[in-house]
Structure 1
Amino acid sequence: MPKRPRTPSPPIQRPSPLAPLATRLRYSIGRGEQGVLTFEPYKGYLLPLWRFKTPEIAEESARRLEREFQRFEDEGDFVGCDMARKFIQMGMTRSMRYANRAGGRKYSAEDGSLLPKPSDHPGAKDKLASAAIFREVWERVKSRERYADLRKEWEKEKKEWLKSHPKEEEESEAEDVKREDGDEVKEEEDEEKPAKAKKRTRSGAKKEDKLASKRRRVKKEEDESD
């Protein structure tokens, strides 16, 4: 029986732009996927589109995220483009994480040591295929000329805005540190980086407990999305 042509899902109704200028100027590009699971309202809007459980699901997810990237691009919204790019990139890196290790866990919960990579496990091939799908889209969107132009415009606009909002720069830097400490998203190149053991002081223990709570919350969101 011949396959029916796939009917494209209609674009999601949303305001344009998705966020006011003041919110967009508070955005921090960060490193890799940093901030992808924290910066609202973009996170809440894009997260439901992010899936990678099977190659078929990943293909649909990557297609929808790329379409949102292009919509943001047409609207001149660099932050929307960059957040969509981060979700696409995270589709690639998370798929690779699950391809390398069943369950996606890289470090031992007991001592923080790097867990071995099994040569094969159920679902590994599907996750590799999902990663390849997202990689192709990621390579495509990150090299778009319009995206690069929007970034330059946004950086120039933010630089001027920070002159009249100096405290915002300090808060943005502090937020970057918090995200880095929280380890909300591991990049692909960090795959072989072992976890470092730290002495627990009273203040350090409180900080670690808060970070552990944040990791559990982020992991729950990931599991719900997978």
Structure 2
Amino acid sequence: MSDPVRGDVSEVDDGPEYDLNFREHPERYRHTSDERGAFKISPYKSELLPDWTISDLRPAAEAARTIHDRYREYREAGDFVGMDVAQKYLQMGWTRSMRYAKYPGGQKYVDGREREPEVWYDPEKRRIARVYRFHLDRVRGDDAYERAKARHRERYGED
């Protein structure tokens, strides 16, 4: 029997991951280097999503700081899943705001064809992206994150 939570986590289809508390069941969490699962991994989505925004610079900068602070709280608690999901929210802030910085309305594709990016179509979104990237780089450069990721993989048999 395959484990749908440890496999690819769809961002569209509802699934059992909505009914699972990953803090209580970290063995069911599968690390991925992308943002997959950020909106489905409970209880972290409830703890991080309300703070996440890329709307305007001031609230986005506060959101990035708050999410980074949460990352540190998860690190202090030895909670790799929380650390990893917080990292995903910082990464998502960076990638989403960069898309809006380069493409009008954030629309990378028109009629199924990729648009040419504009050089800083939206300068405020570029500033937001840089704020998120600042915090994301600190998480990615944190030796504690790398050690926790290695322990999680070793403990739960990930590749």
TM-score, normalised by the number of residues in structure 2:
0.80
**2:54/2:93 contact within 8 Å kept:** yes
Alignment correspondent of 1:130: 128
Structure 2: how far apart are the matches of 1:120 and 1:142?
Answer: 25
State how far apart, in whole Å, the 1-side matches of 2:46 and 2:71 are. 15
Q: What are the residue-to-residue correspondences of 1:1-226 with 2, within 5 Å?
A: 19-20=23-24, 22=25, 24-108=26-110, 110=111, 112-119=112-119, 121=121, 124-159=122-157
Distance in 1 separating the partners of 2:107 and 2:45 = 23
CA separation of 1:67 and 1:37: change in aligned 2, threshold 3 A: same
**Structure 2 unaligned spans of 5+:** 1-20
Deviations 1:14-46 (A, max 9, x none): xxx9720x2x11111123212212222212221
Amino acid at match of 2:140: K
d(CA) in 1 for partners of 2:42 and 2:22?
Answer: 10
The 1-side partners of 2:71 and 2:96 are apart by 19
Query: 1:159-190: per-residue Cα shift (whole Å, max 9, x none)?
Result: 2xx8xxxxxx9xxxxxxxxxxxxxxxxxxxxx
Q: Which sits farther off after the overlay, 61-70 or 97-106?
A: 97-106
Please list every run of 5 or more consecutive structure 1 residues that lacks an aligned counterpart in the other structure. Answer: 1-16, 163-168, 170-226
Q: Please identify which structure carries the higher helix content.
A: 1
Q: Is the 8 A contact 2:35 2:88 kept in 1?
A: yes
Number of paired residues?
139
Alignment RMSD (CA, Å): 2.0
Shift, 1:120, TM fit: 5.5
Q: Distance in 2 between matches of 1:56 and 1:114?
A: 30
Secondary structure at the residue paired with 2:116?
coil
- 8 A contact 2:22–2:42 mirrored in 1: no
Amino acid at match of 1:19: R
Q: Secondary structure of 1:128's partner? A: helix
Q: Return the alpha-carbon distance in structure 1 between the equivalents of residues 141 and 93 of structure 2.
A: 17
Highest RCO, 1 vs 2 (Cα 8 Å, sep ≥ 6): 1
Report the Cα distance in structure 1 between the residues aligned to 2:22 and 2:30, rounded to whole angstroms: 17
Distance 2:73 2:120 in 1: 39
Structure 1: which amino acid aligns with 2:154?
K
| Distance in 2 of aligned mates of 1:69 and 1:28 | 18
- Show structure 1 runs of 4+ deviating over 4 A: none
